[in-house]
Amino acid sequence: MITLHHLENSRSQRFLWLLEELGVDYEIKHYKRDAKTSLAPPELLKVHPLGKSPVITDGDITVAESGAIVEYLLGKYDNGRLLPAEGTAERRAYTYWLHYAEGTIMPLMIISLILTRIESAPMPFFIKPIAKGITGKVRANYLGPNMKRNLDFIEATLSKSEWFCGDRMTGADIMMSFPLEAAAMRAGLKDNYPHAAALLKRIHALPAYKTALEKGGPYALLGG
Ligand SMILES: N[C@@H](CCC(=O)N[C@@H](CS)C(=O)NCC(=O)O)C(=O)O
């Protein structure tokens, strides 16, 4: 039996969806974020030394890191639906987007979240303009241009095909759903990136995605 160690309002949500797509038996172990810090509770450290979510256990096997979990689950339980055949252009695209999701776009989302946290943190009034000056420079010189270039790239990809790897959904779309959801909160996705917004809408309409939401309980991303 697979156990998904599921932290509320987190990247782990996409694994509820993936497990539903695969139709395998699984159970969910729920973890709550710390109310003040939003960090994961220490119980997750008993599952994996980094104490993050997602992490799954499958019998005596523990797998952490989203991309590795997708690879593990599709390698073991997919019937050729979500994992493109080896040696194909679709498989190369799948591998690319699988790594891109956590390796390139998510770090930008995290930087954005951290900057927002700094800007809204309680601090003496005379420090605030200094803090905002620094975060503003990071936004203008690094985050803004990089975010735009990446979202433009995603939009250009999705203007050529309905899904990230072509005409059908793959595990790469499940990986990319989380950064798209994060982008939808921050970047005015619907107005500026209609193809990306349309993909997100298609994803949200999928029966397995809806079941995942029902089973996982309330889901809201941390803003910023
Ligand atoms: N690259 C890792 C990131 C894992 C990660 O940072 N997860 C977040 C949830 S979105 C987490 O556990 N945050 C709580 C914490 O850092 O304490 C993955 O994709 O699995």
Ligand 1 within 6 A of CB of 5: no
Q: What is the pLDDT of residues 27-51, one digit of tens each?
A: 999 999 999 999 999 999 999 999 9
Kindly report the pTM of this predicted structure. 0.95
Which residue from 80, 71, 76 is spatially nearest to 25, judged by alpha carbons? Answer: 76
Pairing of strands 26-31, 2-7: parallel
Ligand 1 within 6 A of CB of 39: yes
Atom of ligand 1 nearest to the CA of 178: 10
Expressed in angstroms and rounded, the spacing between residue 9 Cα and the centre of ligand 1 is 11
Residue 102 CB burial class (10 angstroms; 0-12, 13-18, ≥19) = middle
Determine the pLDDT at residue 223.
59
Expressed in angstroms and rounded, the spacing between residue 48 Cα and the centre of ligand 1 is 12
Q: Three-state secondary structure along the chain? A: CEEEEEECCCCCHHHHHHHHHHCCCEEEEEECCCCCCCCCCHHHHHCCCCCCCCEEEECCEEEECHHHHHHHHHHHHCCCCCCCCCCCHHHHHHHHHHHHHHHHHHHHHHHHHHHHHHHHCCCCCCCHHHHHHHHHHHHHHHHHHHHHHHHHHHHHHHHHCCECCECCCCHHHHHHHHHHHHHHHHCCHHHHCHHHHHHHHHHHCCHHHHHHHHHHCCCCCCCC
Expressed in angstroms and rounded, the spacing between residue 63 Cα and the centre of ligand 1 is 13
| pLDDT < 50 positions in the chain | none
- Please identify which residue in the block is written with the tokens 């107005």: 191
Q: Burial code of 34-59, b = ≥16 C-beta within 10 A, e = fewer?
A: eeeeeebeeebeebbeebbbbbbbbe
Ligand 1 within 6 A of CB of 135: no
Atom of ligand 1 nearest to the CA of 53: 12
Closest residue by Cα to atom 11, ligand 1, is 52
Atom of ligand 1 nearest to the CA of 110: 6
Closest residue by Cα to atom 12, ligand 1, is 52
60 neighbors 73 (Cβ within 8 angstroms) = no
